[in-house]
Structure 1
Amino acid sequence: MLEALIFVVFPFCMLFAAISDMLSMTIANRVPVLLVVVFALVAPLTGMEWAAFGWHFAAGAVVLAVTFGLFAMGGMGGGDAKLLAATAVWMGLNVHLVEYLVVSTFIGGLLTLAILLYRKSPLAVFTGRNPFLRHFAEESAGVPYGIALGLGGLLTYPDSPLMVWALARLAG
């Protein structure tokens, strides 16, 4: 049962956040809340030491403090900040968090370049009225960074502490 939660909840939340941000430029509060609540319930049952458990939440707090500052300055959306913090809780205060941040930043940079090129292209004039593409075509709209955060989470999740534990349980 624990393995199933570990295999399903995090990837589902990452996909949901990416698709939601792509379609509506919003990430619902229920996504980071679900991530944090499930981690808080599942991690102790995996045998994670309490100190490690605390460090996972410390990672979330540090990331939330930094991303809230970016949000307050207008450099990041609130949903992105909360998703990053909740993902940091799952990754922990270790190299896995750094890996997630680097991968997500790289994907986000590519996504931003692609959207900026699209907005300057003649294609945006013709496709900008499409409900699916309108957020990408609007010059005043931001970049749906939840796409990069979701993909970064999916790519780095297999190395995260809970996923490593769940895979070891299945293998053993």
Structure 2
Amino acid sequence: MIEAAILIVFPFAMAFAATSDLLSMTIQNRVSLILLVAFAVLAPMTGMPWDIYGLHFVAGAVVLAFTFLLFATGTMGGGDAKLMTATAVWMGWNMDLAGYLLVMSLLG
């Protein structure tokens, strides 16, 4: 049941954000909020150790700080920054996050 929730929430939220951004050039705050709350609720249910759980939020904080600077300089939109932060929380502090950020910087 938990796996099903994980496989539904993240992909559908990302698809909704992509569609919304494509059609209206906006990403609603609720998409990022849904992703953060879903991770905060679902991750402990999977048996994730608390130290790893914390590192996922550290990854989000680091990405938020960096994307906030990009937003402040006009390089990135606010919705994109919040969505990248929420996605970083799901990815955690590992090499997958670095690859994701690299791809997003090239394609975004």
Following TM superposition, by how much is the alpha carbon of 1:107 offset from its aligned partner in structure 2, in angstroms? Answer: 2.7
Q: Which residue in the other structure is 1:61 paired with?
A: 61
Secondary structure in 2 matching 1:74: coil
Instruction: Give unpaired runs (5+ residues) of structure 1.
Output: 109-172
- Separation in 1, partners of 2:12, 2:75: 26
Q: Which residue in the other structure is 2:37 paired with?
A: 37
The structure with more radius of gyration: 1
Runs of 4+ in 1 over 4 A off after TM superposition: none
RMSD of Structure 2 on Structure 1 (CA) = 0.8
TM-score when normalising by structure 2: 0.96
The amino acid of 2:31's aligned partner reads: V
- Separation in 2, partners of 1:70, 1:104: 13
Q: Which residue in the other structure is 2:28 paired with?
A: 28
Following TM superposition, by how much is the alpha carbon of 1:106 offset from its aligned partner in structure 2, in angstroms? Answer: 3.0
- Separation in 2, partners of 1:65, 1:43: 23
Following TM superposition, by how much is the alpha carbon of 1:68 offset from its aligned partner in structure 2, in angstroms? Answer: 0.7
Following TM superposition, by how much is the alpha carbon of 1:104 offset from its aligned partner in structure 2, in angstroms? Answer: 2.2
Instruction: Give unpaired runs (5+ residues) of structure 2.
Output: none
1:18 aligns with 2:13: no
Following TM superposition, by how much is the alpha carbon of 1:103 offset from its aligned partner in structure 2, in angstroms? Answer: 2.2
Secondary structure in 2 matching 1:12: helix
Query: Which aligned pairs between 1:115-134 and structure 2 lie closer than 5 A?
Result: none
- Separation in 2, partners of 1:33, 1:15: 15
1:91 aligns with 2:91: yes
- Separation in 1, partners of 2:51, 2:39: 15
Secondary structure in 1 matching 2:19: helix
Q: Which residue in the other structure is 1:75 paired with?
A: 75
The amino acid of 1:40's aligned partner reads: A
The amino acid of 1:79's aligned partner reads: G
Q: Which residue in the other structure is 1:140 paired with?
A: none
Q: Which residue in the other structure is 1:7 paired with?
A: 7
Following TM superposition, by how much is the alpha carbon of 1:70 offset from its aligned partner in structure 2, in angstroms? Answer: 0.8
The amino acid of 2:18's aligned partner reads: A
